[in-house]
Amino acid sequence: MNVLLTGAAGFIGSHVAERYLRDGDAVIGVDNLCTGSVNNLVHARTHDTFSFVEADIAEDWLALEAHVKGLGFVPDLVLHMASPASPIDYAELPLQTLAVNSRGTQNCSAAALRWKARMLFASTSESYGDPKEHPQRETYWGNVNPVGPRSCYDEAKRFGEALMMAQIRKAGLDGRIIRIFNTYGPRMRANDGRVVPNFVTQALQGQPLTIYGDGMQTRSFCYVDDLVEGIYLCAASEKTHGIVVNLGNPEEYTIRRFAEMVCDIVGVSLNIVMRDIPTDDPTRRCPDITRAKELLGWQPRVPVREGLERTIAYFRGGSGHIVAQTRPHLRQRYDRSATEADRAQ
Ligand SMILES: NC(=O)c1ccc[n+]([C@@H]2O[C@H](COP(=O)([O-])OP(=O)(O)OC[C@H]3O[C@@H](n4cnc5c(N)ncnc54)[C@H](O)[C@@H]3O)[C@@H](O)[C@H]2O)c1
């Protein structure tokens, strides 16, 4: 099978690439490296059937499609994972976040139709906003502030979902949508601002852990290998055509309890600093994964403690690469040629 994967150099995308490559599939990974890194592709690049194209899928689509065609590559599956995903990234890149989930999704879905390919769109639990229903089922419409500081991400993903549904209903796209809940694991950026890398790097550096609010807000944490398996099954299934599937770990933790677990594994005593809770930060977040269980036979297998141990080992190894939070090229229009990264190989 030929897979076109957007966001391939990101945390989740790089793991997804390896899942398909291990099966013998051919993968073209596309990424503009705005939040990802080619370092994440070291393993993927050991496969002959992998190639990487540096391109912005919202801005450079024509060049990208011409490049793919030039390689004689006709995708059977389009996995659209590209998007800034952490709050500090999308606060830094609000317009790009809106563009990649709107224009980027339009570009991917229109090409998937031309290629007669199946498409999976990676949406998010942020589609539910600060939920009033608990746990969140796919049928819940959400509680989203359309003009708040998170809206560039939440509403972009909701628009992407609406666009997918329009393409499915009107044009016959073989599409499906996943809503990913908090996922963690190796290759998260140490400074991406999300709770797992925050806590882990602070604990490893012997610093106090930063807790926003009273720490009684809850999150559920899914280990990346489990998520990747869910993505793989969802993309392969005939039963998920035209529907949304939650993928996440329903085991719910208060942030405070999670901080205690991180410190316990690292072997330091819990020391915290409290900060004001960010605007529109959800108070509870937990997926109902009945649909994924019934349709895909999927549920997370890696216990949170075990996943954390593996993640902490990764960060201990020093490979939690810390990238600058603002890069000069982020502020420019992405107009580089689609093959820049190939030349660097
Ligand atoms: N990690 C999570 O917990 C989580 C939760 C919900 C949803 N998601 C979704 O999963 C996907 C991957 O998230 P992640 O955590 O791996 O984030 P990430 O930032 O590590 O990866 C995203 C990748 O997309 C690339 N990208 C962004 N805009 C692009 C564009 N216009 N063109 C080409 N590439 C572009 C980035 O450079 C990066 O490599 C995202 O769509 C995100 O919204 C992630």
Can you read off the two tokens belonging to residue 42? 């070291």
Q: What distance in Å separates the CA atoms of residue 179 and residue 167, rounded to the nearest whole number?
A: 18
Judge whether 133 lies within some domain. yes
Q: State the residue for tokens 């906003």.
A: 129
Judge whether 153 lies within some domain. yes
Q: What distance in Å separates the CA atoms of residue 71 and residue 123, rounded to the nearest whole number?
A: 29
Q: What distance in Å separates the CA atoms of residue 325 and residue 328, rounded to the nearest whole number?
A: 10
Judge whether 115 lies within some domain. yes
Checking if the pLDDT of 328 tops 70, the result is no
3-state secondary structure 257-269: HHHHHHHHHHCCC
Judge whether 59 lies within some domain. yes
Q: What distance in Å separates the CA atoms of residue 144 and residue 155, rounded to the nearest whole number?
A: 8
Give the chain's domain count: 1
Nearest residue (by CA) to ligand 1, atom 1, is 183
Judge whether 216 lies within some domain. no
For ligand 1, the distance from its centroid to the CA atom of residue 123, given in whole angstroms, is 10
pTM over 0.85: yes
Measured at the CA of 61, the angle between CA 55 and CA 64, to 5 degrees, comes to: 60
Query: Other C-beta atoms within 10 Å of 305: how many?
Result: 10
Q: What is the CATH number of the domain that holds 85?
A: 3.40.50.720
Q: Are 153 and 97 in contact (CB under 8 A)?
A: yes
Q: 147-157, pLDDT tens digit by residue?
A: 999 999 999 99
DSSP β-bridge partners for residue 26? 2
Checking if the pLDDT of 293 tops 80, the result is yes
pLDDT confidence tier of residue 345, bands split at 50, 70 and 90: very low
Q: Is 160 in the pocket of ligand 1 (CB under 6 A)?
A: no
- Identify whether 212 is a catalytic site residue: no
Q: 204-228, pLDDT tens digit by residue?
A: 999 999 999 999 999 899 999 999 9
For ligand 1, the distance from its centroid to the CA atom of residue 8, given in whole angstroms, is 8
Give residue 188's region: left, alpha or beta (phi > 0; psi -120 to 50). Answer: beta
Checking if the pLDDT of 343 tops 50, the result is no
Q: Which atom of ligand 1 is nearest to the CA of 9?
A: 39
Domain of 18, in residue numbers: 2-183+224-250+286-302+324-344
Q: Are 212 and 195 in contact (CB under 8 A)?
A: no
Measured at the CA of 204, the angle between CA 251 and CA 317, to 5 degrees, comes to: 95
DSSP H or E stretch at residue 86: none
Q: 247-284, pLDDT tens digit by residue?
A: 999 999 999 999 999 999 999 999 989 998 888 777 88
Q: Are 108 and 78 in contact (CB under 8 A)?
A: yes
Q: What distance in Å separates the CA atoms of residue 183 and residue 178, rounded to the nearest whole number?
A: 13
Checking if the pLDDT of 180 tops 70, the result is yes
N residues, the chain: 345
What 3-state class would DSSP assign to 184? strand
- How high does pLDDT run on average in the chain? 91
Nearest residue (by CA) to ligand 1, atom 30, is 56
